[in-house]
Amino acid sequence: MGQMETLKESSTGITKKKMRISGSEAVILSLLEEGVDTVFGYPGGAIMPIYDALYGYKEQLNHYLVRHEQGAAHAAQGYARVTGKVGVCFATSGPGATNLMTGIADAQIDSTPIVCITGQVVAHLLGTDAFQESDILGISMPITKWNFQVTKAEEIPAAIARAFYIAKTGRPGPVLIDITKNAQSAELDFEYTPCKKIRSYHPYPVIQDKDIMDAAKVINNAKKPFLLSGHGVLISGAEKAVLALSEKANIPVASTLLGLSSFPPDHPNYVGYLGMHGNYAPNVLTNECDVLIAIGMRFDDRVTGDVNQYAKKAKVVHIEIDPAEIDKIIKTEVAINADANQALECLLPYINKADHSEWINEFRKLDKIEYDKVIKNDLYPTSDKIKMGEVVRLISEISKGEAIVVTDVGQHQMIANRYYKYKKPNHIVTSGGLGTMGFALPAAMGAQIGKMKEKVISIAGDGGFQMTLQELGTIFQYNIPVKIVVLNNNFLGMVRQWQQLFFKKRYSFTEMTNPDFIKIADGYGIVANRVEQREDLEKALQTMYDHDGPYFLEVKVEMEENVFPMVPSGDSVSNIRLE
């Protein structure tokens, strides 16, 4: 125990002398050296030595036992997205490791920094199809920023140091470290040195003065400029710089799905959010602007629609840290390959003051059309059935737009992101690029653990909720005070909408016969309620929001409600439908 105490002191970074310890303990100490205090995971045979080492560090490292490894990855994502730290998860070999893959793929496409540590069979059994062996490096290679297999104990500290450096620098992303069981059990002389540089890896490109000047010239000459604020704005902390650019040159701003909360929703220059189910004005007027300033976004197909008809009148200025995203989808006039905040700090002094009030007024005219045809009925319906939009409106009002909202994937996701008024940055957590059903509950769990003093609300549909509802067990065990709202329409709603609009109402296997969600929540010891009548809705939401502890609320909503506006898949954004 005397050696154990010395080792614990070393995790503070004060004691740097070498110590003889096991590989598994080196994993724990390396995490502590990186400032990790939270891990989500599920034990198993091949990672058991690491869990045995963790037993002696329960006071320094909080471990949350999830109910499925996919939940560990999503929880790590939620934690990372709201804290700005690297999320960490553990899984064993074989099926434990493969169960992480959906969350890792989600983190990769949405630029979320997580480090996944998996156990593996002993090194001499690699490639023999041993019990619970899988080629996790081969499987994860396309969906990780970096992966590495440790077969010797002495490789562990450097591998973990490199993993954290890669995960959090440049364009963030997931990293996987696979550690054989013999490496966990063998001993090494432990010494930890944080990684600060890797040869051939340059996460922060050097800004070119010419690019800054060229971009300023294009923006200053614009008559109808339009700024698109993406996820990279939030990742780089460039919200104030985007606001300054918009105000200085009087430029209208729209956000991507993951860029929501990067610009104040009540600002006169904010014109809504882009995409297939985004707002009418920013979609239509994309094809009318003469300069398109895209910051920290990758021109996803849900934003562009038909690229052959996208922003054809515009000169495109693209600020993006990942060089692979520049000119990949949309050809640029000027590209600034750099961190968004750094690029904007360089650019702002060269931007002239301007007045584009007439141009902004064009957005307001289209806003009125959308409000009359869509928004008014979504938020203040006259039908007997509860609509998703009014639920989200009330949640936004009750929380004053200050809650962390974690959405699943589907109709409710689009509605939540259309109507929740995010007042604080990084208060939206959603699965954007991969579109992972089942994301919300475990991600909300991780977000709540990362921000225990804030309100976290999970909004899911009945389909996505049932994909990961086992994480109610984790929420129950640790009394995680997340608020869970399930908008139940007894359908896979988004698929059903497409079947209605494009497949002649042939509802092929999208109607769901659901269990009694209240009994399920009750079985997990979570206070639960169901709302079926409009007159009960606001009180039920307020009760949920005020509750001290986890709470489950099922809201029965209109079964065949559709989400509009909508850009038909592959069509021009100009052809966005309002009905």
494 carries an active-site annotation: yes
Q: Is 178 helix (H, G, I), strand (E, B) or coil?
A: strand
500 carries an active-site annotation: no
* Count of Cβ atoms closer than 10 Å to residue 560 Cβ: 13
Choose the catalytic residue: 445, 494, 544, 566: 494
Cβ contacts of residue 277 below 8 Å, gap of 6+? 414, 418, 563, 564, 565, 566, 567
Do the Cβ atoms of 108 and 100 come closer than 8 Å? no
What amino acid is encoded at 356 in this protein? H
Beta bridge partners of 572: 305
Structure-token pair, residue 415: 């509605």
Choose the catalytic residue: 8, 19, 48, 132: 132
Beta bridge partners of 404: 456
Q: How far is CA 347 from the centre of its chain?
A: 28
Residue 318's H or E segment, with its range, is strand 315-320
**Backbone angles phi and psi of 379, in degrees to 5:** -90, -30
Do the Cβ atoms of 233 and 340 come closer than 8 Å? yes
Helices and strands (DSSP H and E) totals, the chain:
25, 20
131 carries an active-site annotation: yes
Cβ contacts of residue 311 below 8 Å, gap of 6+? 286, 287, 289, 292, 330
What is the strand order of the sheet 551-556 is part of? 428-429, 404-407, 456-461, 483-488, 551-556, 527-531
Q: Give the separation between CA 27 and CA 50, rounded to whole angstroms.
A: 7
Beta bridge partners of 27: none
Choose the catalytic residue: 85, 145, 168, 181: 181
End-to-end CA distance of the chain: 70
Q: How far is CA 220 from the centre of its chain?
A: 34
Choose the catalytic residue: 3, 131, 217, 511: 131
Q: Give the separation between CA 252 and CA 291, rounded to whole angstroms.
A: 11
512 carries an active-site annotation: no
476 carries an active-site annotation: no
Q: Give the separation between CA 289 and CA 425, rounded to whole angstroms.
A: 27
Do the Cβ atoms of 150 and 179 come closer than 8 Å? yes
What sections of 169-208 are H helices per DSSP?
181-185
Choose the catalytic residue: 25, 69, 133, 320: 69
**Backbone angles phi and psi of 305, in degrees to 5:** 60, -140
Q: Give the separation between CA 337 and CA 324, rounded to whole angstroms.
A: 10
Q: Is 265 helix (H, G, I), strand (E, B) or coil?
A: coil
Q: Which residues are catalytic?
A: 69, 131-132, 181, 494
